[in-house]
Amino acid sequence: MKLLNIIVILFICNLHMKAQPQITEENKSQISEEKNYDYLNHNYNYLDENYKIIISNEKFNELLKVYELIPEQVQTYKDSLSVVLCGEFDKWSQRNRAQFRITYTWLRAGYHLWLTEAEAEKMGQKYGIKMPYQLSDYARHPELWNDEMKDFMKNLRARIYDETKNEAINKMDNKQLLNYALLENPDRQKDFEIVQKERSGNSVGCGKPNCCQTKGSTLEKCDDEKK
């Protein structure tokens, strides 16, 4: 019976593997192009230069209808932005990337860089950076750094090692390091615990530290930070 169960499991797994779509070179190229596109400097039809929504009620309601969205669920700027981006991009993946980068916060940038929200914003201003996502993106690309940023990132790596004692840190590239920094940031962990206590008894969220459903979560799943 045990052998039969194993055979059945292997058969199902084999069918599942065969059913997986093949990622072609063309698909890889399209994904790479989407990731590398500068959504923060896109020429938007329904957003001004500060990403304030500028769309008529008629057009907005039209988008709700065309994309079969539920009006009652549109409660916040982020909800409305999601609707507007439907009118800007053809693909959901592009809309998600654009929304992620537009709504990215200095708080989240600070979690990556082990800075306070105010310190992250001040750092952005120093480098002429307007949007929080651009600061995190800058930190991922050493070819763009000046000497001051090189020293900062070197010290950041040392701080994270001192906190975690994880030998693998020395082998991480900058993108991996910043993702690890986000997860291990002591302030983020404390903030998460506070949010969890505030939401105690609420069924929203799975309870994991990287739950994407938790209010105030700064760990939404996004390919932008898996590049």
CB proximity list for 34: less than 8 A, separation 6 or greater: 91, 93, 94, 97
What does pTM read for this prediction? 0.77
Instruction: Decide if pLDDT at 87 tops 80.
Output: yes
Average pLDDT over every residue of 92-119: 97
3-state DSSP assignment of residue 53: strand
Choice among 24-38, 96-110, 119-133, 201-215 with the minimum mean pLDDT: 201-215
Q: Tell which of 103, 122, 147 closes a domain.
A: 103
Per-residue pLDDT at 31: 76
Per-residue pLDDT at 22: 57
Average pLDDT over every residue of 122-142: 97
Confidence bin at 80 (pLDDT 50/70/90) = very high
Check: CB of residue 132 under 8 Å from CB of residue 120.
Answer: yes
Confidence bin at 72 (pLDDT 50/70/90) = very high
166: in domain? yes
What b/e sequence results for 155-193 when a residue is b if at least 16 CB atoms lie within 10 Å of its CB, and e otherwise?
A: ebbeebeeeeeeeebeebeebebbbbbbebbeebeebbe
Q: Which domain holds residue 130?
A: 106-226
Per-residue pLDDT at 220: 45
Per-residue pLDDT at 101: 98
Instruction: Decide if pLDDT at 209 tops 90.
Output: no
Split into its structural domains, the chain has a count of 2
3: in domain? no
- 96 and 125: one domain? no
- 127 and 208: one domain? yes
Lookup: tokens for 146:
């000046």
- 152 and 66: one domain? no
Instruction: Decide if pLDDT at 136 tops 80.
Output: yes
- 94 and 119: one domain? no
- 88 and 117: one domain? no
